Structure 1
Amino acid sequence: MITLFGREREVAKLAGLVDRVRECGDALVVRGAPGIGKSALLAIATERAEARDLLVSTVSGVQSETHLPFAGLHQLLRPMLAGAGQLPTRQREALLGAFGMAEAGDPEPFLVALAVLNLLGDAATHRPLLIVVDDVQWLDGPTTEVLGFVARRVRSDPIVLLMALRDGYPTSLDASDVPELRLTGLEPAAAEALLDAQTTGLSGGMRRRVLSEAAGNPLALVELPLALDAGAITDERGVLPLTARLEQAFAVRLAELPPHTRGLLLVAAANDGHDLASVCAGGGMMTGTELTAEALAPAVDAGLVELHEQTLSFRHPLVRSAIYHKAGRTDRLAAHTALALVHGHDPDRRAWHRAAAIPHRDESVAAELEGVAARARQRGAIPVAVTALRRAAEISEEPAAGAHRLLAAAELTFELGRGDQAAELLALAEPYFVGELPRARGVWLSEVLGEGRNDGPARIRRLVMTAEVAEAAGDRELALSFVRAAAIRCWWSDPGWEQRSRVIALAERLAAGDDDPELLVTLATAGAVERGAEVIERLTKMRDTRLDGGVTRLLGLAASTVGAFDLVGDFMEISIADLRTQGRLGLLTRALSTQVWRQIFCGDWAGALLVAEEAERLARETAQPRRQATALGMLALLAGLRGEEERGLALAAEGERVLGTVAITSVVALLQHARGMIALCAGRYDDAFGHLWRLFDPGDTAHHMTWRQWVISELTEAAVAAGRPEPARRAVAELEQVAARTPSPLLHVGLRHARALLADDAGAEALYQDALGADLSRWPTARARLLLAHGMWLRRRRRIQEARVPLRASRDAFDVLGLLAWGEKARQELRAAGEASHLRVAPVAELLTSQELHIARLAAAGLSNREIGQQLYLSHRTVSTHLYRAFPKLGITSRAQLRDALADTSRD
């Protein structure tokens, strides 16, 4: 191909991906300017794949199809849809519902994506698969989201996914970690060779001009000389960018075509598809003459379009845009009017063409677009719904109706994690709100957009007042949303009991009953101390009740907020399983974060690492920076406990970077908690105290009334070791008053530890015995740390024989828990007490990567590869690959041996 002059390295790269597909999958984005050679490279890869008997599936984005939900994905998967029957029921329903081929109740986009991943994986088990996607920038948004999801997960499947993307068009792939191949202009020698291969009749001056203006762009090197011959470029140097010059070069050929041919080309350029029959029908309506494909023959001869049986395609996307923009406005409106009639049987296409055909506001068309948005949302195509609502707002006859549609679009945009766009839409709508409820909805959206702002009591008062307005207007759900927001802000920064009691009173008035999970969450967040005993009592009664996942998620959140982490797992495991099945990855990320804290505080450190890594990955994919920063803070803390100081500090810094300038107190407190624990485990006690004290300092951004309750033992340990016990005594005294009003288990466990550390010699022994005598069966980490502290206290008082007993017990407990830093500290104390310890022998499970361990655990529990894939949003082939790698590390050969291998605490 002429556009591959000088592209030997790029061709070799793509060829290598195709040739290795039987060994491993891969994904690549090819990015560059129009005409730079992206499509030619994809064509070379396609030819190579077909020569090697690969299954090839291709799709090209079309600018006029960006508003059709999953149009590109349907085109890509059409040859494989017969295999959809083998998908799990919910995935099959979600996928077919997205294509409008089955009824689907509000499918989750990620469930559609998982269905696509499995469908492609199944197809690739028979023949390796090459997926080629050109002009990604013009695919509909939902299709692009799915492709990004698949691209991140094909490494273990015999699938290569190649996607070509034009510079200057933002897509969801921009922020992904999919590798890129960026194409730039040809080297001067290659550019000259390509130009000389096309024409020899250029003068020296004109030749230099073409080389200069083309800037190494292969398409420009081919087309600009032809435009010169036709007189489209004069000797005067223009100022148009290269893309516009290329459009002019193509447009000059239009003048030579018959009127009927030009009319058909305009209809084809405006059409949202490649169907030749609809082009001919639309052209006939425009001209009043029956037209057939024969009328396009001059355009084919001119090299503008190609005909393939019943379809029409343009030689290059710039040909389409040149034809459309060269036409007059009246002709473009006429083309869309004709296409609206041609697509009368398809309400979505008809609505879009009607919207493009009117030069004025039209409420009937706006209502049709609102219907388009409703159908798109039902199919899980939220970006398309947003576009439809925005256009509907533009053509609404009444400003209030337009504002209503803009607000709906803003709310959907926020669901996508695009806060800046949501804020823009809200700003456009606000001046035209009519009525209390629209204003309240606007205030609610403004609240969630400004979630990180902490305006103190004044903001909480406004939220409560707006909740009362929504309640009076009869919108209980909206009122509850405001109550939740106010309660969360009470958790971030204590506005005083008067304000918090007002929030609680409103929540109780709106509640469906005493055990309403929404009410329990509000009681926990706005009254963790004052109402904590009541929350824990109700949760304890409900722990054995059969509840759905939506309820248990809220109950687990309430339990964690009041420090009852021993109750969290009873609720969260049900919720997490439901959310995985439903494909609700946004909520799943939040549930996983809550589960991590239960695992951390209750001693399942290996599980905490797995869940925190998954939470971070999903938060990144679902564009939730606050949740991602939280997960990074958790991972930092876990790294510190394993003695990985450098990695822990890097993770904490990354968490701060992701969070940005938004000072969300709970996340800042978590990151300081992590840094404090890292320093404590590394023996840097002054640093540890400095980090942890920030949670207790009311003037610090990390100050958190609840979080400080969870770190009182660590603060006290750092303070005593640093020779600064007095601040710790003050902190303990404050929390003693809190503890007198709440049975929060974690607070009381921490205070018993802190009392013993701060006691004088006369009282310490009894306090250590009191702390160790409490029921710590669900708090193994706290028990191990208490044993270590007690052993250290005994050794320093030269009670060596007595000290060895708790020191040995703590060492063994830390070894089982996998807390390497604490285990080493116990060994050091034992050596000081005159007793040597063998080095810890790592369990075989620690030989596995986090992903391998996660999959192995699920397989040991009896789940099939497909079931594991559904849980972790991986293809079953990827699951199989991870197990294949895990078995030799564990020294086993079958799934039946997994349970014993993972339960074994030592390596042979």
Structure 2
Amino acid sequence: MYEAGLLGRDEQLRVLQELMGRLPDAGGAMTLQGGPGVGKSALLRAAAERARRAGWQLLEVAGRSDDTPFSGLRALLRPVLGTADALPAGQGEILRSVFEIGSGPPPETSKVALAVFNLITTRAAEQPVVLIADDGQWLDRPTRDVLAFMGRRVSDNPIVILGARRSGRNMPDVPVLDVPVLDVPSARRLLARHAATLPPAVRERILGEALGNPLALVELPAAWRPTGLPGSWTHLPVSSALATAFAAGLGELPVQARDALLVAAVEHVGDLSEILAAASVLAGRAVAVDVLDSAVAASLIRLDRTRLRFLHPVVRFAVLEAETPARRQAANAAMARVLAEQPDRRTWHRAQSVNGPDDEIADELADAHAPLLRRHGVVAAIWALERSAQLTADSATRGHRFLCAAEHAYGLGRTRLTHSLIDEAERQELSDADRAKAWLLRDISDADPQPGPARTQVRDITELSAGDPDLALDLLLSAALRAHRTGAGPAPRAGIVAAAERLTGTSDPRHIAALALAEPVLHGRAVADRLPSNERVWYLPDADGLRLFGMAAHAIGDPVRAVDLLGRAEPILREQGRLGLLSETLLTEAADLLLLGDWPRAAHLTEEARRILAETRQPALVAALTGTDAVAAALRGQVERAVELADTVATWQRADLIPTLRLARGVARLGEGRYAEAYEELRPLLEQPHEGLRWQGFAAVMPFAMAADRGSSRHEAAHILAILEEAAGVTPAPLLHVQLPYARAVLAADAAAEELYMVALGQDLARWPLVKARTEHAYGQWLRRRRQAARSRAMLLSARTAFELIGASNWAGRNAAQAAGNPLPSVMELLSPQETLIARLAAEGLANREIAERLHLSHRTVAAHLYRAFPKLGITSRSELAPLLKLPEPAANDH
């Protein structure tokens, strides 16, 4: 069957294919049923195309507003009316009277039905016939009766009858094929075809409002036009096709019914008593509930006791689109009068009811943005601040409110929106502090920072922030972030440290993060001492503080504390809807989990970050994600993929990602046994003054030592080991200290090696399974070379088990297998990335619907993934997932 362009309709196409496949030996009838715009007509077009290609007789009709008896039948049969002469005289005369060819009174419907049936069967004797009747609800009643008569009798003839109608009365004894809305993945794919150039926020709004309706997914992008911030879109523009499909009866409603619908359209709660009260204000006279009967009859709304609901969001948009801006403002003003006891909603409607500056409303909106943030999310708060700025008379205050909105947009991950709001702010007469804040926001939200000085120079921090310590700390952190991202040299970094030392608030997370980013080795100990203890982490409610503390821990090489801090910040950011900061947090946490050895959890976080970035499109974080993917692939032994991803990272020419791509390439070369190349790739990460080392250098210590040992570069590596020893005397970085004993043992002379291995394995490695596995593997190999078979086998078996639990059986685990047997496949090898992600969420205790909400899938899709995953894993229940995935025990806390 012709099906080009149809998404999410495999089942419906299969059923139609089966029905039409009966031709030419037999036939049948079927009614496609579904709401407006779901794609019934598209399926009928696919069937019609099949008929044309097969050379069958195709007869088509579409319902229209014409109640004349048999008007639909005339349109349907016109191409074959010439064969009516072959019918018995009485039946031919009946058909001619229907087509006004003969004369006499209108014939009985039953007689017409029999004549039409004989006409079609006569034609079908020569070639199969396919009759298609679209929009059956608009066909005249006699035509529908004739089609129903035929539908019950065509199964033994080469005739197929296909009808389509909205929900309601169908043809008796004729099978019904339901055509539902699209599932979320299919809806996303259809929207991508028609909205590829629209901003992510617009696409998400359209996706949410279309509710899977294909016509809405096609027409809303075509009709869209910029109207301000996403949160300020009271409605999406609708095309004439959408208005016709969803709200054809709107123009025929009584005036009072249209007043009530307009009020309901500008309002989002749907409380019937509020709507009728506001409609009464708008109309200037009492409006009773019975005025809505006509709207119910027109299939525009439904009434559920105390609620009024539009049958589809597009109906609401059509109502708003049909009215003038003045009428929409009047409806908002009427609703505001009714909501005197609900200040937040009242303020929202008042803000929609005016055009020019209104400081009273502007102040109310500015005050309301915090409650809106808590109750309705970041987009609502951004809209409140932006609308507040638009209604503010004073230029400086207006600019300040635009900047506050820009801060929230930055947290949301909307870079273009952030810059747009900053542009609006900078057109105002900003104070020096707000001017500095604008520079700061543009700096930290820059999608592709270039090497060079920050817009806000370090020496300017104190001057620009005079009297505002909070702003000074923001500027300090901005300068440190830029220095980190652009690979600044010692002098700029020293300037940041000097500025930090002149500021108060040294316990502030921004101060601590700035020091960690600027000088992670030289000031690593001071940063570590000021990070919150494990006990305090659970009592810190501030996501920003937790995120910055976690960033600092990551920068100084303490992945355990970073994971604990970022893991605490992650759910708070998710709940607040701050997707931009959440994606950054997820990627940092994932990088640390890779180094520790919790690869399933790392994969889970990177997949979530990937989903977010597909919508927010933050180029800097997309690059970071690619770098994380490259390291993960290298660790798993996926050499070609790791190198390909690292090459992609290189095209960004980002100074802060160069160490990451070196780490990925070096580990990949090591995994395929190209030790000399691995050595040369990793050496630049370590061969520099110890104060210049970064976390990627610390992460390279074990791979570098292995490459030096296997590649006969032990002597040359000695001076780098000396640099690491010197760094270890300065920084407490666990990522360095936990790996250094391994490097000492691997690069030591045989006489000293065993004692050094014992020291390396004597550390507390409970949170470092990858380090433990690598060390056991190296020690086991060392024992095997000395023909200590029993000790070697025990150590290598322990290493193999650890590698398999981590998911590293494709890389180092295969070396362990040389002495200890073949490795078992890991969970991550058995399942697809999507199945792994869903299985992990299920193991954490989330129900299918919660997983679906988290991943923007349907709960049926989640259930299907789990249904396929269980046999692969050899389990039968959800309770078996957690042990299999080796989820850590939840951290103990008292609340």
Pairing 1:479–2:478 present: no
* C-alpha displacement of 1:813: 0.7
Pairing 1:674–2:664 present: yes
1:801 is paired with a residue of what secondary structure?
A: coil
* C-alpha displacement of 1:728: 5.5
C-alpha separation in 2, matches of 1:7 and 1:871 = 30
Give CA-to-partner distance per residue, 1:741-780, whole Å, 9 cap, x none: 3343433555555566667xxx465367536533444255
C-alpha separation in 2, matches of 1:8 and 1:782 = 51
> 1:770 corresponds to which residue?
756
| Aligned residues of 1:133 and 1:163 also touching (Cα < 8 A) | no
C-alpha separation in 1, matches of 2:591 and 2:247 = 63
Distance 1:354 1:167, change over 3 A: farther
C-alpha separation in 2, matches of 1:374 and 1:719 = 57
Give CA-to-partner distance per residue, 1:176-217, whole Å, 9 cap, x none: 99998855999xxxxxxxxxxxxxxxxxxxxxxxxxxx9xx9
Distance 1:488 1:733, change over 3 A: farther
> 2:733 corresponds to which residue?
744
Distance 1:483 1:639, change over 3 A: same
Distance 1:269 1:602, change over 3 A: closer
1:173-192 alignment runs, 5 A limit: 174=203
Pairing 1:465–2:450 present: no
What TM-score do you get using the length of structure 1 for normalisation? 0.59
| Aligned residues of 1:390 and 1:405 also touching (Cα < 8 A) | yes
* C-alpha displacement of 1:131: 13
- Residue 41 (structure 1) aligned to one of 38, 41, 54: 38
> 1:643 corresponds to which residue?
637
> 2:823 corresponds to which residue?
840
> 1:400 corresponds to which residue?
396
C-alpha separation in 2, matches of 1:758 and 1:629 = 35
C-alpha separation in 2, matches of 1:872 and 1:297 = 39
* 2:472 maps to amino acid: A
Alpha-carbon RMSD across the aligned residues, in angstroms, is 6.2
1:427 is paired with a residue of what secondary structure?
A: helix
Pairing 1:548–2:543 present: no
1:704-715 alignment runs, 5 A limit: 705-715=694-704
Pairing 1:390–2:400 present: no
* 1:387 maps to amino acid: W
Distance 1:804 1:244, change over 3 A: same
| Aligned residues of 2:12 and 2:179 also touching (Cα < 8 A) | no
- Residue 410 (structure 1) aligned to one of 386, 406, 416: 406
| Aligned residues of 1:271 and 1:279 also touching (Cα < 8 A) | no
1:453 is paired with a residue of what secondary structure?
A: coil
* 1:478 maps to amino acid: L
Pairing 1:533–2:525 present: yes
Give CA-to-partner distance per residue, 1:833-877, whole Å, 9 cap, x none: xxx65222347897566777778788889x686999699789999
1:811-822 alignment runs, 5 A limit: 812-818=798-804, 819-822=808-811
| Aligned residues of 1:487 and 1:525 also touching (Cα < 8 A) | yes
* 2:759 maps to amino acid: G
Distance 1:623 1:646, change over 3 A: same
| Aligned residues of 2:516 and 2:552 also touching (Cα < 8 A) | yes
C-alpha separation in 2, matches of 1:330 and 1:867 = 42
* 2:393 maps to amino acid: E
* 2:398 maps to amino acid: G
Give CA-to-partner distance per residue, 1:302-338, whole Å, 9 cap, x none: x89889799697996786466425xxx7777666666
Give CA-to-partner distance per residue, 1:594-651, whole Å, 9 cap, x none: 5444443344445544454455456657766655554554344333333333444566
Between 1:870-879 and 1:714-723, the stretch displaced more is 870-879
2:392 is paired with a residue of what secondary structure?
A: coil
Between 1:726-735 and 1:562-571, the stretch displaced more is 726-735
| Aligned residues of 1:270 and 1:336 also touching (Cα < 8 A) | no
1:421-570 alignment runs, 5 A limit: 421-450=417-446, 452-456=448-452, 458-459=453-454, 462-463=457-458, 465-466=460-461, 469-470=464-465, 472-474=466-468, 476-492=469-485, 495=488, 499-504=492-497, 506-507=499-500, 519-536=511-528, 542-543=533-534, 547-549=538-540, 550=542, 555-565=549-559, 567-568=561-562
* C-alpha displacement of 1:407: 1.5
Pairing 1:377–2:362 present: no
| Aligned residues of 1:814 and 1:822 also touching (Cα < 8 A) | no
C-alpha separation in 2, matches of 1:629 and 1:824 = 29
> 2:673 corresponds to which residue?
683
Between 1:664-673 and 1:244-253, the stretch displaced more is 244-253
Distance 1:563 1:162, change over 3 A: closer
| Aligned residues of 1:437 and 1:473 also touching (Cα < 8 A) | no
Identity %: 31
* 2:518 maps to amino acid: A
* C-alpha displacement of 1:420: 0.6
| Aligned residues of 1:792 and 1:803 also touching (Cα < 8 A) | no
Give CA-to-partner distance per residue, 1:40-69, whole Å, 9 cap, x none: 428999xxxxxxxxxxxxxxxxxxxxxxxx
* C-alpha displacement of 1:681: 0.6
* C-alpha displacement of 1:525: 2.7
* C-alpha displacement of 1:667: 3.8
- Residue 826 (structure 1) aligned to one of 815, 835, 841: 815
Distance 1:609 1:727, change over 3 A: farther
C-alpha separation in 1, matches of 2:617 and 2:530 = 35
Pairing 1:419–2:415 present: yes
C-alpha separation in 1, matches of 2:704 and 2:755 = 21
Distance 1:711 1:803, change over 3 A: farther
Between 1:676-685 and 1:9-18, the stretch displaced more is 9-18
* 1:531 maps to amino acid: H
| Aligned residues of 1:413 and 1:419 also touching (Cα < 8 A) | yes
* 1:465 maps to amino acid: D
| Aligned residues of 1:784 and 1:814 also touching (Cα < 8 A) | yes
Where does the alignment leave 5 or more consecutive residues of structure 2 unmatched? Answer: 17-33, 43-177, 223-236, 888-895
2:731 is paired with a residue of what secondary structure?
A: coil
Where does the alignment leave 5 or more consecutive residues of structure 1 unmatched? Answer: 1-5, 20-36, 46-129, 135-149, 187-213, 218-240, 831-835
> 2:323 corresponds to which residue?
324
> 1:191 corresponds to which residue?
none
Between 1:628-637 and 1:244-253, the stretch displaced more is 244-253
| Aligned residues of 1:548 and 1:574 also touching (Cα < 8 A) | no
C-alpha separation in 2, matches of 1:518 and 1:460 = 19
2:203 is paired with a residue of what secondary structure?
A: coil
Distance 1:852 1:546, change over 3 A: same
Distance 1:577 1:870, change over 3 A: farther
* C-alpha displacement of 1:584: 7.0
C-alpha separation in 1, matches of 2:252 and 2:829 = 73
C-alpha separation in 2, matches of 1:804 and 1:483 = 58
* 2:556 maps to amino acid: V
* 2:673 maps to amino acid: G
Q: Kindly tell me the number of residue pairs found equivalent between the two proteins.
A: 695
C-alpha separation in 2, matches of 1:581 and 1:285 = 38
2:730 is paired with a residue of what secondary structure?
A: coil
Higher relative contact order (CA 8 A, sep 6+): 1
**Bigger radius of gyration:** 2
Between 1:384-393 and 1:840-849, the stretch displaced more is 840-849
* 2:481 maps to amino acid: I
What TM-score do you get using the length of structure 2 for normalisation? 0.60
> 1:48 corresponds to which residue?
none
* C-alpha displacement of 1:423: 0.3
C-alpha separation in 2, matches of 1:286 and 1:860 = 54
1:115-264 alignment runs, 5 A limit: 151=184, 172=201, 174=203, 243=239
* C-alpha displacement of 1:449: 1.3
* 2:441 maps to amino acid: L
C-alpha separation in 2, matches of 1:164 and 1:529 = 49
> 2:160 corresponds to which residue?
none
Distance 1:271 1:639, change over 3 A: closer
